[in-house]
């Protein structure tokens, strides 16, 4: 790997009101390498990347490319320097074709007409270069999977002569086979001299693809280590400043009576004859590949999606759930998969978000704001939500603290069953450990928990029983003692043990 620095960021400093987001940060990138950037949410990774991509202006510091100082004041400056960012939420236009997205905003015309033959030819060449021969240049982007959309975004970056490619959580919604395809693409980009800044919370994958790993904490760089020498415990200690251990909960005993019982539950075209039980004080994990029907099950049980057929019992009594209001009244709560879209109202305050589901708030027709403030203070303290004030806009908090607010919302209610759908997705290792502990505490308190996760170590760590789904059906069930990653994956792909 070449040793010359393509990019050097020196003493980068950035302040926001009341917060020093970056404090004298140094970061460099070599041509043809993958430099992984990790840290807890709020560590400063996103701020650093936004400065490099032109979304933010730094307060102090120097950026050099090819050892020459450059000025990046807006996104077009970054693009002119060959810097391109692929965000977790891919910034393309779903209704347009693949070719139109690759040339987005840059379609050249002659005498007012676009030379579509040339657009399609160049798009085809770029996709073939990425090993994406299966993607049609005429396909609508919205009809492609997330992995294929990422390849389109990378093709667009290559067309713009990108030298530095920034990838923000690129594998968060990918299957294992799609992750392998993405890594093959990244390795191909390296051979062509493209340098990649790779941001991820998935510690198990960064050693597979990274050459160096830089760890940030509290707006500072803690250290940079070669990926081949880094161990997961070492990276975690650097990220959080302490050892993070997830211990089995001390109160693991025989579960109580069934608090949720589902019999012969189906949704036409999605779910087929599902029967399950969740006992009081039990964590039941739901595993399966993307598209297996796990989220569809969670949303249908909660009444967020219509069409569910079957019988649902809560505390032994049949309930009819046609909407989330019915579910809440029955004692069911859902922490949804897509936190930003379905779980929070980011522009509103921590307090308003936390109190959204709390119904007993009115005194003579008026909202009892004093009770709201008291409950909010209690929940902020109970869940260690890191926020300067309860009036802070929720979107300004880290992903882990946003998720804690969503969890705290349901603790204000009379709750019996908590359905968690990818509750730790996009959350750093420190916040993840805190949420693990909180889930254990809820189970110890007698709640029934149905937990969906794509991370098998998470399923195995927290679950008393594991259910496996495949193509909308339950394909397997394991006790805590019998569950292994191999057995779960075999059932997830439809195989037999």
Report DSSP state, residue 227.
G
CB-CB contact of 219 with 41 (8 Å): no
CB-CB contact of 196 with 49 (8 Å): no
Asked if residue 133 has pLDDT above 70, the reply is yes
The most confident of the ranges 251-265, 292-306, 391-405 is 292-306
| Kind and range of the H or E run holding 369 | helix 369-382
The architecture (CATH level 2) of 258-492 comes to 3-Layer(aba) Sandwich (3.40)
Burial 59-97 (b: 16+ CB within 10 A, else e): eebebebeeeeeebeeeeebbebbbbbbbeebebeeeeb
Give percent above pLDDT 70 in the chain: 93
Per-residue confidence at 195, pLDDT binned at 50, 70, 90?
very high
- Residue 1's pLDDT is 40
Distance (Å, whole) CA 240 – CA 221: 12
The architecture (CATH level 2) of 5-240 comes to 3-Layer(aba) Sandwich (3.40)
Asked if residue 303 has pLDDT above 90, the reply is yes
- Residue 473's pLDDT is 93
Average pLDDT across the chain, whole number: 86
Asked if residue 108 has pLDDT above 50, the reply is yes
41-77, pLDDT tens digit by residue?
A: 678 888 999 999 999 999 999 999 999 999 999 999 9
144-157, pLDDT tens digit by residue?
A: 877 788 888 888 88
Asked if residue 453 has pLDDT above 50, the reply is yes
Mapped to the 3 state alphabet, what secondary structure does 44-75 carry?
CHHHHHHHHCCCCCCCEEEEEECCEEECCCCH
Specify the pTM: 0.61
Task: Enumerate the CATH 3.40.50.300 domain ranges in the chain, comma separated.
Answer: 5-240, 258-492
């Amino acid at each position: 790997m070449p040793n010359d620095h393509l990019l050097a960021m020196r003493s980068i400093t950035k302040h926001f009101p009341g917060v020093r987001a970056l404090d004298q940060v140094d970061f460099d990138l070599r041509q043809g390498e993958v430099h992984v950037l990790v840290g807890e949410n709020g560590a400063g990774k996103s701020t650093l990347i936004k400065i490099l991509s032109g979304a933010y202006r730094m307060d102090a510091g120097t950026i050099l490319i090819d050892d020459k100082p450059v000025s990046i004041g807006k996104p077009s400056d970054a693009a002119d320097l060959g810097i391109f960012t692929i965000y977790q939420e891919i910034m393309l236009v779903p209704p347009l074709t693949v070719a139109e997205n690759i040339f987005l905003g840059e379609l050249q015309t002659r005498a007012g007409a676009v030379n579509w033959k040339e657009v399609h030819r160049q798009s085809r060449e770029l996709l073939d270069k990425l090993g994406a021969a299966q993607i049609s240049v005429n396909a609508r982007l919205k009809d492609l999977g997330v992995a294929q959309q990422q390849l389109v975004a990378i093709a667009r970056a290559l067309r713009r002569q990108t030298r530095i490619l920034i990838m923000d959580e690129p594998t968060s919604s990918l299957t294992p086979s799609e992750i392998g395809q993405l890594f093959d693409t990244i390795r191909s980009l390296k051979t062509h001299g493209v340098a990649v800044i790779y941001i991820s919370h998935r510690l198990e994958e960064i050693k597979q693809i990274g050459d160096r790993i830089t760890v940030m904490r509290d707006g500072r760089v803690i250290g940079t280590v070669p990926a081949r020498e880094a161990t997961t415990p070492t990276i975690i200690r650097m990220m959080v400043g302490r050892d993070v251990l997830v211990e089995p909960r001390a109160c693991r005993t025989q579960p109580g009576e069934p608090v949720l019982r589902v019999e012969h539950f189906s949704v036409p075209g999605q779910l087929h004859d599902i029967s399950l039980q969740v006992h009081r004080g039990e964590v039941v994990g739901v595993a399966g590949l993307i598209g297996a029907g796990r989220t569809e099950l969670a949303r249908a049980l909660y009444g967020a999606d219509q069409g569910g057929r079957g019988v649902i019992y809560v505390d032994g009594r049949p309930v009819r759930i046609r909407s989330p209001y019915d579910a809440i009244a029955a004692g069911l709560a859902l922490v949804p998969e897509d936190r930003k879209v379905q779980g929070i109202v980011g522009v509103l305050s921590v307090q308003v978000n936390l109190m959204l589901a709390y119904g007993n708030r009115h005194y003579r027709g008026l909202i009892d704001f004093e009770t709201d403030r008291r409950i909010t203070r209690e929940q902020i303290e109970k869940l260690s939500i890191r926020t300067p004030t309860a009036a802070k806009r929720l979107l300004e908090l880290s992903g882990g603290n946003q998720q804690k607010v969503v969890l705290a919302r349901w603790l204000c209610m009379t709750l019996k069953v908590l359905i968690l759908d990818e509750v730790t997705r996009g959350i750093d290792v420190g916040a993840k450990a805190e949420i693990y502990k909180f889930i254990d505490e809820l189970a110890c308190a007698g709640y029934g928990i149905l937990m969906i996760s794509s991370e098998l170590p998470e399923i195995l760590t927290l679950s008393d029983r594991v259910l496996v789904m495949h193509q909308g059906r339950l394909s397997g069930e394991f006790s805590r003692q019998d569950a292994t990653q191999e057995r779960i994956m075999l059932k997830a792909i439809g195989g037999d043990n």
